[in-house]
Amino acid sequence: MVIIYIKMLKYNATIRIEPNPKCIRIRNKSCEAVTFLYNQTRTNRTHHQKTALALLLSLFLFSRLSLWKMVALERSLEAAMNARIIGSGSETMVLAHGFGGDQSVWDKVLPCLTKHYQVVLFDWTFSGAVKDPNLFDPLKYSSYDAFADDLIALLDELHLESSLVFVGHSMSGMIGCIASIKRPQLFNRLILVAASPRYINIDDYEGGFDDATIDGIISSIESDYENWTSNFALLVVDNSDPISVNNLAKCLKRMRHEFAVPLAKTVFRSDKRDILDKVTTPCTIIQTTNDIVVPGSVADYMHKKIKGKSTVEIVNTNGHFPQLTAHLEFLAVLAGVLGFEI
């Protein structure tokens, strides 16, 4: 019997196709089996099995699963997300980049961190560094929860199941919080770098933007992505570091435009304030002195709402990327919190 597995990314289900001399049976984890019968001659059984399987699979996928993105299970998350582990040390640190970036945003701090930790690096599926565009499904990733599930699955695949230090930049800060709620033993500390649970002002909460401004950002991404990437990089990275500005702009340009629009909606219209009082893992909130994306009031808000022990650390730099524009001070904060020497 030949068994073929197909991963259904949208619903995290697996379809199992079992061809035998009489039928092809298609299963998934949540539905009853669907069986297709077909005739078969004795003289060319293997050919008929392959032909029938291809035809029936195509019919099933087009009629029932046209909105699902698929990837063969044979390709691991580790390979799909360009995951790698480098460095030494008895403890493990996970570095997760934010919107439009890739793992290269950590390049300046890696030489130091890899002296003290095994460091896990990876690219989210929306990143331009990920080769397979089928991995990113805008519908599935319309919520941070799907990213948190990917994070947990990746770490499980790497056999890293507890007591990790998670460093999440921007949107990845909230993803790490969600993952820590889903799997409380996974992380022993969360480092939330320029993270925000909500970007839009409401009532007595200052997120930094009003609805009209967010609508304008998304409209600019939709209408002139190339120009927007250059302007956005100039806004969020300290202009005194033109190399970092240019590198971020290149990262943003590599991200597919068809991913950027729905992802921007997911990020900028998110509201995860309600999860903060469920986060019990100790947190360090790192904020820059002048971040156009996340005002200082957000760090104070998170500090008050997070249930676990938390502290706020300020890095003296402009912009949203302290790991790029003030990497030595950023490392000094990490060293003070985690107890290693630079």
- Say what the pLDDT of residue 27 is: 39
| Among 212, 215, 164, 211, residue whose Cα is nearest residue 185 | 164
Res 73: pLDDT: 37
pLDDT digits (tens, 9 = 90+) for 86-114: 998 889 999 999 999 999 999 999 999 99
Give the residue-averaged pLDDT of 176-187: 98
Catalytic site includes residue 320: yes
* Mean pLDDT, range 111-125, rounded to an integer: 97
Quickly name the fold that domain 79-338 has. Rossmann fold (3.40.50)
Q: What is the mean pLDDT of residues 164-168?
A: 98
> Mean pLDDT across the stretch 241-258?
96
Output the average pLDDT for the chain.
84
pLDDT grade for 59, boundaries at 50, 70 and 90: very low
pLDDT of residue 66: 39
> Is 274 in the active site?
no
pTM above 0.95, yes or no: no
Average pLDDT over residues 139-165: 96
* Least confident window among 75-79, 274-278, 330-334, 337-341: 75-79
**Residue 65 predicted with pLDDT over 60:** no
Tell me what the mean pLDDT of segment 205-225 comes to.
96
Q: How confident is the model at residue 31, as a pLDDT?
A: 35
Contact between 148 and 138 under an 8 Å Cβ cutoff? The reply is no
Lowest mean pLDDT segment, chosen from 63-77, 224-238, 245-259, 285-299: 63-77
Q: Are 117 and 93 a contacting pair, CB within 8 Å?
A: yes
pLDDT band at 76 (very low <50, low <70, confident <90, very high): confident
Q: Is the pLDDT of residue 6 over 70?
A: no
Q: Which of 238, 291, 310, 327 is catalytic?
A: 291
Interval 38-62 mean pLDDT: 45
Residue 60 has pLDDT above 60, yes or no: no
Average pLDDT in the 44-61 region? 47
- What is the structure's pLDDT at 88? 87
Structure confidence at residue 49 as a pLDDT band (50, 70, 90):
low
Q: What does the DSSP 8-state code read for residue 304?
A: H
Interior angle at CA 243, CA 242 and CA 247, nearest 5: 115
Q: What is the pLDDT of residue 4?
A: 40
- pLDDT on residue 46: 52
**pLDDT at residue 122 in the model:** 98
Least confident of 1-5, 43-47, 181-185, 280-284: 1-5
**Across residues 244-265, what is the average pLDDT?**
96
> Which of 297, 323, 317 has the alpha carbon at shortest distance from 170?
323
Active site annotation includes 291: yes
Structure confidence by residue, pLDDT tens digits, 183-195: 999 999 999 999 9
70: which strand partners?
A: 8
- Among candidate residues 104, 170, 180, 244, the one labeled active-site is 170
Statement: residue 285 has pLDDT above 50: yes
How many angstroms separate the CA atoms of 177 and 190, rounded? Answer: 8
3-state secondary structure of 242: helix
The DSSP string of 131-187 is: S-GGG--TTGGGSHHHHHHHHHHHHHHTT--SSEEEEEETHHHHHHHHHHHHSTTSE
**Of the listed 97, 116, 169, 320, which one is catalytic?**
320
| Per-residue pLDDT reduced to its tens digit, 300-320 | 999 999 999 999 999 999 999
Share of the chain above pLDDT 90, in %: 76
